[in-house]
């Protein structure tokens, strides 16, 4: 009962903070904006220590988790997806929480959240991440709504996995790096404040063709925010393939900031490129990738992501996709001497 009251009070406090910060009549807001980056830099070390203490208490592990994302299971109820992913043999699950997905916060009333938390606990799966699709907004009202949306997703993560809160991952949208980088820093500063108060990491993914498309760009943004531990990076080599970006170089750049790894293959086509299931091309060395990250100290999640280029095709079977990905990738961990969690 006490935990429920504390959680309810946290939600109220966060929502009040979001509304107050975005109130145009609040003179304090401008003062806060001037000093935000200095504040983030000063508190980054303290927050990092807090995260490490949490890990020491609840997440002592020598291995990584191997998961499957429900982004590739849009046609299924989330409960059925959880059962499938567990039955196939994964360690974790990434839940797609975009507004049009079954597990969106608005579609998850309290009784369903409680039942799903119990289902997850019985399945042995860890909720490793929540996949959003939320861009930084130029319009202040839309930005305010985005902060509310992030908060709602963080609340969902707490309700489903209060002991090990899943991170939120998203891309940052289109444009060019030079025209968007300063804007990204400004908006991500607000995201970081919400993330810190909600104790939920937000991981940004460099995306092929996006305003942020390289690990070096994600690293730069995080550095501009004082290396806050609340904004981290998603590493997904499929977005760097065929761009003169060697695996070793991207891992070296990304490793200090990476909180989540997504895997899928990229193949060249007459029209450019196409994403396919991980392992399908037969040309990418996942063992090497896993080793580089593990030897560098990474102990997070490695998630099979099914691209919309795949699941939108006629005849696509999400259960078969989960099984195929597991059959292709699971043996690589042992061969590469990268342990999975027990």
Residues pairing with 274 in the sheet: 267
Q: Is the pLDDT of residue 5 over 80?
A: no
pLDDT value at position 61?
67
Confidence band, pLDDT 50/70/90 cuts, at residue 11: low
Q: Is the pLDDT of residue 54 over 50?
A: no
Name the H helices within the chain.
2-21, 28-58, 78-88, 110-123, 140-160, 177-198, 215-224, 247-254, 286-295, 308-311, 318-335
**Average pLDDT over all residues of the chain:** 88
Give the domain range for residue 188. Answer: 2-55+64-335
Contact criterion met (CB below 8 Å) for 221 and 181: yes
| Per-residue pLDDT tens over the stretch 161-171 | 999 999 999 99
Q: Is residue 341 part of a domain?
A: no
Q: Work out the average pLDDT over 271-294.
A: 96
pLDDT value at position 106?
98
Say which CATH number the domain at 101 has: 3.20.20.150
- Across 89-123, b (16+ Cβ under 10 Å) vs e yields ebbbbbbbbbeebbbbbeebeeeebeebbebbeee
pLDDT value at position 279?
97
Q: Which of 259, 279, 280, 281 is nearest to 333 (CA)?
A: 279
Percent above pLDDT 90 for the chain: 81
Q: Is residue 241 part of a domain?
A: yes
Q: Is residue 249 part of a domain?
A: yes
Geometric angle at alpha carbon 211, from 248 and 186, rounded to 5°: 105
pLDDT value at position 342?
82
pLDDT value at position 60?
54
| Per-residue pLDDT tens over the stretch 143-189 | 999 999 999 999 999 999 999 999 999 999 999 999 999 999 999 99
| Per-residue pLDDT tens over the stretch 94-149 | 999 999 999 999 999 999 999 999 999 999 999 999 999 999 999 999 999 999 99
Residues pairing with 64 in the sheet: 340
Q: Is the pLDDT of residue 295 over 70?
A: yes
Name the H helices within 264-317.
286-295, 308-311
What's the structural domain count of the chain? 1
Distances, alpha carbon 311 to alpha carbons 87, 275, 278, 324, in Å: 21, 11, 13, 14
- Rounded to whole angstroms, the Cα distance separating 341 from 326 reads 15
Confidence band, pLDDT 50/70/90 cuts, at residue 15: low
Q: Is residue 269 part of a domain?
A: yes
| Per-residue pLDDT tens over the stretch 231-270 | 999 999 999 999 999 999 999 999 999 999 999 999 999 9
The gap from C-alpha 253 to its chain's centroid, in whole angstroms, comes to 18
Q: Is residue 342 part of a domain?
A: no
pLDDT value at position 51?
44
Q: Is the pLDDT of residue 40 over 60?
A: no
């Amino acid at each position: 009962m006490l935990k429920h009251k504390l959680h309810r009070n946290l939600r109220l406090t966060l929502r009040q903070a979001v509304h107050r910060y975005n109130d145009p009549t609040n003179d304090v807001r401008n003062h806060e904006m001037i000093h935000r980056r200095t504040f983030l830099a000063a508190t980054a070390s303290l927050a990092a220590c807090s995260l490490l203490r949490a890990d020491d208490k609840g997440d002592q592990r020598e291995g990584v988790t191997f998961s499957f994302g429900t982004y590739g299971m849009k046609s299924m109820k989330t409960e059925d997806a959880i059962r499938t992913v567990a039955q196939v043999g994964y360690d974790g699950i990434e839940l797609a929480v975009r507004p049009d997905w079954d597990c969106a916060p608005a579609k998850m009333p309290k009784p369903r959240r409680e039942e799903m938390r119990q289902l997850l606990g019985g399945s042995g799966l860890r909720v490793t991440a929540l996949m959003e699709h939320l861009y930084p907004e130029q319009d202040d009202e839309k930005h305010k709504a985005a902060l509310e949306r992030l908060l709602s997703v963080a609340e969902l993560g707490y309700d489903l996995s209060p002991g090990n809160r899943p991170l939120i991952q998203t891309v940052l949208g289109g444009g060019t790096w030079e025209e968007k980088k300063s804007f990204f820093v400004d908006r991500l500063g607000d995201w970081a404040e919400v993330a810190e108060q909600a104790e939920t990491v937000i991981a940004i993914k460099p995306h092929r063709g996006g305003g942020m498309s390289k690990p070096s760009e994600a690293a730069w943004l995080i550095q501009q925010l004082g290396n806050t531990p609340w904004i981290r990076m998603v590493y997904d080599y499929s977005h760097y393939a065929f761009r003169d970006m060697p695996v070793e170089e991207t891992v070296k750049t990304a490793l200090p900031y990476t909180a989540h790894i997504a895997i899928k293959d990229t193949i060249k086509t007459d029209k450019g490129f196409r994403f396919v299931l991980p392992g399908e091309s037969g040309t990418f060395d996942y063992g090497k990738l896993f080793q580089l990250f593990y030897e560098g100290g990474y102990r997070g999640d490695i998630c099979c992501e099914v691209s919309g280029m795949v699941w939108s095709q006629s005849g696509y079977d999400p259960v078969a996709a989960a099984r195929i990905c597991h059959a292709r990738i699971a043996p690589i961990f042992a061969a590469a001497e990268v342990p999975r969690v027990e």
